[in-house]
Amino acid sequence: MEKLGHLLTAMVTPFDIEGAVDYSQARKLALSLLDSGSDGVVVSGTTGESPTLNREEKLRLFDEIKAAVGNRGMVVAGTGSYNTKESQELTKEAERIGVDACLLVVPCYNRPIQQGLLEHFKAVARSTTLPCILYNVPSRTAVNLAASTAIELSQIDNIVGIKEASSNLGQIAEIIHETKKDFLVYSGNDNETLSILALGGYGVISVASHLVGSQIKDMIEKFLGGEVQEAVGIYQHLLPLMNALFVIPNPMPVKWVLNYIGFVVGRPRLPLVEPDEKTASLIQTVLRDYNIDLTIHA
């Protein structure tokens, strides 16, 4: 699964002034992210405001972004939800469109036990031939995908990796140690990327790469190439920005920054809102210390 790449961006979904999906801006953003270091994009994930996107919007985003990207990079479709049957159906449609992989989040709200998680992910994976990446983010879902469950799921041929955002480094280390060498363990939190790489992880599904993708790519490549101190230096420089992008829940800060630097992505959809003046000022102050990698295409 080397082709999926070490740096994937969890892409925001641009909206126009009326709140409709701006597909033209979405295509431009995907290409700009590839230009600035990303190996691919995750479409309709948490950062893409998947809870407020309907089925038709998601499918059109998958289609338009894959058509724009072509073979230049990976398009990973966020097709998981708290409804197993709907997750299966959306994954099948995404496969027909031609995306490269799918991201399957732990079901939120209904609070399944580990056996339920096991059966849910098995059912979705068996509905497709696409590579599937699990997504564990208990701060959002209220349920943690246990290491033992992730390890068992890794034995399914097309479950090829996991985006781990539990912040439990012991759990993540266990997953890395007990799964196949080619099972891809991605950091789901930018500020934990270097720690997870040090444990033997593969890369990051990033938010900060909207802004500093080339720098994150350089950090990963230097670490994997044995230039550890150089990688640590880049990480330490980027850490305040990574933290500022999560000062309130993602994707509110990163959408504000993209608009601020001139790449118009619109406001978040309710119930998310734009940062208040105090929060925006804090983010703006941090931003002054950084060179932005994202190219703004006309």
Question: Above 90 in pLDDT, residue 234?
Answer: yes
Q: ω before 253 within 30° of 0 (cis)?
A: no
The pLDDT, as a whole number, for residue 296 is 77
The answer to whether residue 298 is domain-embedded is: no
Phi, psi of 253 (to 5 degrees): -65, -45
The answer to whether residue 215 is domain-embedded is: yes
pLDDT digits (tens, 9 = 90+) for 98-153: 999 999 999 999 999 999 999 999 999 999 999 999 999 999 999 999 999 999 99
> Pairing between strand 184-187 and 40-43?
unpaired
pLDDT digits (tens, 9 = 90+) for 191-226: 999 999 999 999 999 999 999 999 999 999 999 999
Instruction: Please give the sequence-ordered ranges of beta strands (E in DSSP) within the chain, or none if there are none.
Output: 7-10, 40-43, 74-78, 101-105, 132-136, 159-164, 184-187, 203-206
Instruction: Work out the number of other CB atoms within 10 angstroms of the CB of residue 171.
Output: 18
The pLDDT, as a whole number, for residue 103 is 98
pLDDT digits (tens, 9 = 90+) for 28-82: 999 999 999 999 999 999 999 999 999 999 999 999 999 999 999 999 999 999 9
The answer to whether residue 297 is domain-embedded is: no
Overall average pLDDT of the 238-248 stretch: 98
Task: Tell me if residue 260 is catalytic.
Answer: no
Q: Which two tokens stand for residue 203?
A: 């890369």
The pLDDT, as a whole number, for residue 41 is 98
Read off the pLDDT band of 243 (50, 70, 90).
very high
Closest CA to 186 of 165, 212, 209: 165
Q: Which one-letter DSSP state was computed for residue 285?
A: H
Task: Tell me if residue 23 is catalytic.
Answer: no
The answer to whether residue 231 is domain-embedded is: yes
Could you please report the per-residue DSSP string of 128-161? Answer: -SS-EEEEE-HHHHS----HHHHHHHTTSTTEEE
The answer to whether residue 271 is domain-embedded is: yes
Question: Above 60 in pLDDT, residue 1?
Answer: no
Domain range holding 270? 2-287
Closest CA to 10 of 87, 119, 105, 91: 105
Choosing from 135, 186, 202, 235, which is the catalytic residue? 135
Q: ω before 251 within 30° of 0 (cis)?
A: yes
Read off the pLDDT band of 298 (50, 70, 90).
low
Q: Which two tokens stand for residue 137?
A: 């983010």
* Residue whose token pair is 């309907």: 54
The pLDDT, as a whole number, for residue 149 is 98
The answer to whether residue 292 is domain-embedded is: no
The answer to whether residue 130 is domain-embedded is: yes
Instruction: Work out the number of other CB atoms within 10 angstroms of the CB of residue 203.
Output: 24
Q: Which one-letter DSSP state was computed for residue 188?
A: S
Overall average pLDDT of the 223-242 stretch: 98
Any alpha helices (H) in 1-54, and if so which ranges? 23-35
Q: Long-range CB contacts (< 8 A, 24+ apart) of 23-26?
A: 23/60, 23/61, 23/64, 25/264, 25/265, 26/61, 26/64, 26/65
Choosing from 28, 58, 66, 163, which is the catalytic residue? 163
Question: Above 60 in pLDDT, residue 2?
Answer: no
Radius of gyration over every alpha carbon of the chain, rounded to an integer in angstroms: 18
Q: Are 193 and 216 in contact (CB under 8 A)?
A: yes
Q: Which one-letter DSSP state was computed for residue 15?
A: B
Sign of the C-alpha dihedral computed for residues 119, 122, 127 and 132 taken in this order:
positive
The answer to whether residue 293 is domain-embedded is: no
Overall average pLDDT of the 276-280 stretch: 97
Instruction: Work out the number of other CB atoms within 10 angstroms of the CB of residue 282.
Output: 15
How many angstroms separate the Cα of 273 from the Cα of each of 29, 34, 58, 100, 243? 21, 27, 21, 31, 19
CATH number, domain of 265, equals: 3.20.20.70
The pLDDT, as a whole number, for residue 297 is 66
- What total of structural domains would you count in the chain? 1
Q: Which two tokens stand for residue 209?
A: 């790469």
